Structure 1
Amino acid sequence: MPRRVAIVNWRDPWQRAAGGAELYAWRMAEQLRDRGSAVTFVTGREPGQPRAEVRDGIRIVRRGGTFSRYPLVLGWLLRHRTAFDVAIDCMNGVPFLSPLALARRTKIILLVHHVHDRQFSLYFGRFLAAVGRTIEGPVARRIYRSGPTVAVSASTAHALRRRLRWDGPLYIVPNGAPSPAPLPRGTSAGDPSLVTVGRLVAHKRVDRLIEATAALRADHPGVHLHIVGRGPEHAALAARIDELGLAGHVTLHGYLPEPAKDALLAGADLHLSASRYEGWGLSVVEAAAYGVPTVSYDVEGLRDAIRDGETGWLARPGEDLADAVRRALAELQAHGPRFHAACRGWAGRFTWAESGARMHRLIMDDLDAF
């Protein structure tokens, strides 16, 4: 039976700071649309964006800026409180509190990519960080206690239970991965090509990748790091590249269209991540779809997206990231085809169609698959 579904998310995929959470939300919108639901994507608005439009058969409603989106979106939901059978409320640190606005008969599904409790202190002072942790923890736990919660990985589910003391029903609906057309690869252990894809924000710690590249020059003089993405850390990263004399070894590409980004991924020896907080690691599996393994720290989310020693490498406790990359390059030189095949096989296990089917079954209360 068709359902009227609202997906409430912090941003839409066409905003400058959009990332994996936005891609996930939009892919779910597409999948539910394809299964007969009438989908409305409710989100914030950047200057110049229309307040409402229809894109690919999905209605988009935009209200409010960085902080005003929360009360304005909640107000819009209240005015349309009987318009939806289901709402997927995406909690990117702070949820939209949709159960306070929508009719009691509306099924609310809370979607969580990763737990932000420690992350609030990176971006806010002590008071605001405490407010954020309170809303994400006890407030959200009480408001959403009667409905299902979706986590994108086992790490996120574990963190919800352990750190937020979440006691309601939890289901895992993972990210999908692309099914790319084959692109030519070129790998060279002598002049390795490294790439990282993601937003340039503090918790991604891209500066550590730049410093690792500087250290790698001693035994890989032709090493080159490609940084794909945009964000508030761009200027600081550019200054760090200049300070270390890496203009010929690190390229800040900014935003790249999908074909150009995919070409960089397909031609890389390794994909890197120094992120401190992840719910999964969408770029890890995107790289794996092209046969490219990832080196990262052993943190939540990334340890789910990487099969250590098979589709990538997790830095050992106390191991310098540059040393982990050296170890990975040596193994690739010896056994490259094996790793490339394992990466493609791993990525092939994740599809948006299967994830969309799981979300649809949750909406329809068909829980046998979980």
Structure 2
Amino acid sequence: MVDCDRLASRPLRILYLSWRDREHPEAGGSETFVERTAEILAEHGHQVTLFTARFPGAAATTWHDRVRVVRGGGRFGVYAHALRHLARHRDNYDLVLDVQNGVPFWSPLLARVPVVNIVHHVHRDQWPMVLGKQLGAVGWFLESRVAPWAYRRSDYVTVSEATRSDLAELGIARDRVSVVYSGNDQPADLDSYADIPRTAEPSLMVLGRLVPHKHNEVAIDVVAALAERYPTLQLHIVGSGYWEDALRAHAQSSGVGDRVNFHGFVTEAEKHRLLAESWVVLMPSQKEGWGLTIVEAGLHATPAIAFAYAGGVTESIVAGETGLLAADVPELVAQVDALLADNQLRGKYGANARRHARSFSWERTGTELEGHVRRIAVRARG
């Protein structure tokens, strides 16, 4: 009991295992969750080490504010390096946060402390898109069959009720899965963006990594479908990734190459400026655990539209209040048309989206995660 009381009050030594960190050129929403929650945990006095993959030009060790970052291995080698780090230092940690981005780090095989599996979304449909049919089948087998067995004694954390339900379909009991919604980066000068006018002509925006499963081709198809109705409609694609050349080719072949603007990776200030200027934000992704871009857009009263089957977006968007959810591409096109044509409706959704977005903060997210991991650590010791 003495050990439990001490563990319930003293700072925890936490090892965070993540595929990428915020400096990685392919970092996305999952990495934002990891970095922000790690920062909050460290600010609350916990000792946090983030183990992640190396990339060209990256230091082997560094600090992100109060979080120690250790890097080893590349895109696939990071898993072996992470396990080696855990084997060497497992007595130095009280708890492991293992981020399963499709494939987890298999930390229960070596850890002597509780492991919490953090899952943003299930990758059932993404495996064949990224690795092809055969390798994709192997990836899905590891995610859907092997990982649930390996983590059968672990608790889970996810970012939406939708993913919690997906995990239940894999045999992971709902009472083992806690939902901790993502926060929202609210710029200190947020109010200053309210003075930025919308673009004079209709404009759409997509924001995120340029990879196949984000389906940014659909946003280009929307522009092509509405080209005659809105002769000056523009699409702004913000983000970088290996799929950019394919997207550029698709825009040209669709006859809207001059309407699609590729901005690449931009600064935080530029990102928020573009969100504030846009009329509507699109998220045509196949699957999202939450949809961080949606609530970021909401800060600027910019409504969003996504596919209902994407999962977590059904919670980051309050359908019919802060934005819209489509069942398929034709319905998505119709919904974009409706919002572009109706200034009053777009303004109403935007005002609601702003209130919704401001209800999320990383401080709340980090504190909720802290509560869960503290209880898990104490329960395991008890």
TM-score by length of 1: 0.94
Asked if the contact 1:213/1:223 (under 8 Å) is kept, the reply is yes
User: Is the 2:128–2:134 contact (alpha carbons within 8 Å) kept by the matching residues of 1?
Assistant: no
SS in 2 for 1:96: coil
- The structural deviation recorded for 1:295 is 1.2
Structure 1 unaligned residues grouped into runs of 5+: none
- For residues 179-227 of structure 1, what are the alpha-carbon distances to aligned partners after superposition, in whole Å with 9 as ceiling and x for unaligned? 2312124346x82111110111111111111121122121111111100
Q: Distance in 2 between matches of 1:208 and 1:117?
A: 20
1:98-156 Cα offsets, whole Å, 9 max, x none, are 111222xx121110000012211112233322221222122211221212100100110
Provide the rounded CA distance (Å) in 2 between the counterparts of 1:7 and 1:211. 39
What do the CA deviations read for 1:5-47 (whole angstroms, capped 9, x no partner)?
A: 1110000111111100001000010010011101100001102
Question: Which of 120, 144, 165 is 1:158 aligned to?
Answer: 165
Amino acid at match of 2:326: A
Alignment match of 1:93 (pick from 92, 95, 102): 102
Q: Does 1:75 align with 2:81?
A: no
Q: Are the aligned partners of 2:49 and 2:70 in contact in 1 as well (CA < 8 Å)?
A: yes
Call closer, same or farther: CA 1:134–1:366 in 2, change over 3 Å.
Answer: closer
CA distance in 1, matches of 2:197, 2:319: 23
Aligned match for 2:204, one of 166, 170, 194: 194
| Matching of residues 81-120 of structure 1 within 5 Å | 81-103=90-112, 106-120=113-127
Aligned partner letter, 2:37: M
CA apart distance, 1:272: 0.5
* TM-score normalised per structure 2: 0.91
Matched, 1:359 2:365: no
* Counterparts of 2:171 and 2:203, CA distance in 1: 42
Bigger helix fraction: 2
What CA distance in whole angstroms lies between the structure 2 residues aligned with 1:152 and 1:319? 29
Is 2:46 aligned against 1:46?
no
Please tell me the residue identity of whatever aligns with 1:233. Answer: W
Provide structure 2 residue ranges, at least 5 long, that are not aligned to the other structure.
Answer: 1-9, 378-382
Q: Which residue in 1 is equivalent to 2:318? A: 307
What is the DSSP-based 3-state SS (H/G/I as helix, E as strand, rest coil) of the residue aligned with 1:248? helix
Distance 1:78 1:102 in 2: 7
> Does the Cα contact within 8 Å between 1:306 and 1:312 map onto a contact in 2?
yes
Instruction: Report what 2:358 is aligned to.
Output: 348
More off after superposition, 244-253 vs 87-96: 244-253
Write the mapping of 1:1-370 to structure 2, written as runs, cut at 5 A: 1-103=10-112, 106-162=113-169, 164-167=170-173, 169-180=176-187, 181-182=190-191, 183=193, 184-187=195-198, 191-299=201-309, 300-316=311-327, 319-331=330-342, 333-365=343-375
Shift of 1:77: 1.1
Instruction: Using the aligned pairs only, state the percent identity.
Output: 36
Q: How many residues align?
A: 362
User: How many angstroms apart in 2 are the aligned matches of 1:56 and 1:318?
Assistant: 43
Q: Which amino acid aligns with 1:340?
A: G
On the 8 A contact 1:2/1:38 being kept in 2, the answer is: yes
Residue identity opposite 1:139 in structure 2: V
**Equivalent residues of 2:218, 2:329 under 8 A apart:** no
Distance 1:146 1:277 in 2: 27
Q: Which amino acid aligns with 1:205?
A: H
